[in-house]
Amino acid sequence: MSENGIYDLIIVGGGPGGLTAGVYAMRAALKTVLIEKGLPGGQINLTESVENYPGFEEISGFDLSQKFLQHAKSYGLEMIQQEVAAVEPGLEFHSVRLGDGRHLHTHAVILATGGSPRKLQVPGESEYYGRGVSYCATCDGFFFRGKDVIVVGGGDTALEEALYLAKIAGRVYLAHRRDAFRASRILQQRVLAEGKIEILWNTVVTEVKANDKGVTAVALRDTRAGASMEIAVDGVFIFIGFSPNNQLVPAGIKMDHDGYVEADEKCETNIPGIFVIGDLRQKYAKQIVLAAADGCTAAMAAAICVEMKKAGGDCKP
Ligand code: NAP
């Protein structure tokens, strides 16, 4: 806890955005604490290989997250491993209530809680999660060595994970609901050149079937002809995008239809002193480098905000 019990800045979430905000906040001499309920690094811990973070031609997600963490720790960033129960805006101070009941007070808050995999919401999906249904090839691919799996989705994540699974599994079906991928051209080229991947265009999964040992098949529907079919698979890997983790966003903060928080160019929400960064913020693309950039922006803006509040003014000029 800070000396007078009041922080300058509380960062909620320890992914690339939150940790970068930590680096910039410490360099700006803000009394800062970062609160993370799980493993620092967030979603990138689940990524086998990162090839587009500048400065690293290829690095594992886990190694990159460790570098972010070590960098933030090198400035002595205080970290609390706890679930945050609520973020409560106030006029003088904002409050962050922890799962253990403690209240922390702060001039500024940066919300960096990211997002979670979107669900297909078909029968069998939640029932067989962990018994053949997965949202992380890096975590679970190992269990499907030589077996047949289906990947669902047509974005960067689906294609990257299909390529990863092709190195492990027997056959990889890739089911996409349209006849064109959304993923980047380079990933499309790699998928089309990978003989182990069979693309099922215009196809959706309508049910995951299983026995007492786990997944055995998926029911599919052709989105054009309407025909149904079933294929035998041992695993179903679902990568159909992602929903923002906006549960801690206080009432009154503006969000779009999809639940992403709207913020200005300083990453500040419509409540002064509450900033939002990374995948939780409404933006054009979700990338590690953009989350890090947001972390930088928000921490620099928070430093000005804190200075103005301490001088007796308002956070917004
Ligand atoms: P995404 O780009 O939103 O793609 C989601 C895919 O799932 C789309 O192909 C979409 O189909 C499909 N889909 C959505 N709902 C569906 C449903 N109910 N049933 C069947 N299919 C459904 O999500 P993402 O691939 O997770 O990527 C998220 C962001 O991270 C993107 O900005 C992406 O560029 C970025 N990313 C980048 C990298 C990289 O650069 N290395 C790696 C991973 C992710 P439609 O195309 O028909 O909408």
Identical fold at 6-116+242-310 and 119-238?
yes
Assess whether the C-beta atom of 180 lies below 6 angstroms from ligand 1.
no
| Residue of 43, 56, 182, 222 to test ligand 1 pocket, by largest number of atoms within 8 Å of CB | 182
pTM of the shown model: 0.77
Catalytic status, residue 136? yes
1/133 Cα distance (integer angstroms): 42
Q: Over the chain (317 residues), what is each successive 10-residue block's mean pLDDT?
A: 76 97 98 94 77 91 94 98 96 94 96 94 94 87 94 96 96 98 97 98 98 96 96 98 95 96 98 97 91 98 96 80
The pLDDT of residue 3 is 46
139 is catalytic: yes
Q: State the residue for tokens 């041992």.
A: 234
Distance from residue 286's CA to the centre of ligand 1 (Å): 10
Q: Which of 139, 179, 256, 258 is catalytic?
A: 139
Confirm or reject CATH 3.50.50.60 for domain 119-238, answering yes or no: yes
Nearest CA to ligand 1 atom 33: 156
* Ligand 1 atom nearest to CA at 182: 46
Please tell me the residue having the least CA distance from ligand 1 atom 35. 286
The pLDDT of residue 242 is 87
6-116+242-310 — its CATH code? 3.50.50.60
Ligand 1, closest atom to CA 154?
A: 9
Distance CA 316, CA 302 (A): 10
- Nearest atom in ligand 1 to 240's CA: 7
Q: DSSP string of the chain?
A: --TTSEEEEEEE--SHHHHHHHHHHHHTT--EEEEESS-TTGGGGG-S-B--STT-SSB-HHHHHHHHHHHHHHTT-EEEE--EEEEE--SS-EEEEETTS-EEEEEEEEE---EEEPP---TTTTTTBTTTEES-HHHHGGGGTT--EEEE-SSHHHHHHHHHHHTTSS-EEEE-SSSS--S-HHHHHHHHH-TTEEEETTEEEEEEEEETTEEEEEEEEETTT--EEEEE-SEEEE---EEE--TTSPTTS-B-TTSPBP--TTSB-SSTTEEE-GGGB--S---HHHHHHHHHHHHHHHHHHHHHHHTTS-S--
Cα 242 to averaged position of ligand 1 atoms, centre (Å)? 8
Domain ranges (residues) in the chain: 6-116+242-310, 119-238
156 CA → ligand 1 middle, Å: 6
Tell me what pLDDT residue 61 has.
86
Q: How far is the CA of 117 from the centre of ligand 1 (A)?
A: 10
Annotated catalytic residue 296: no
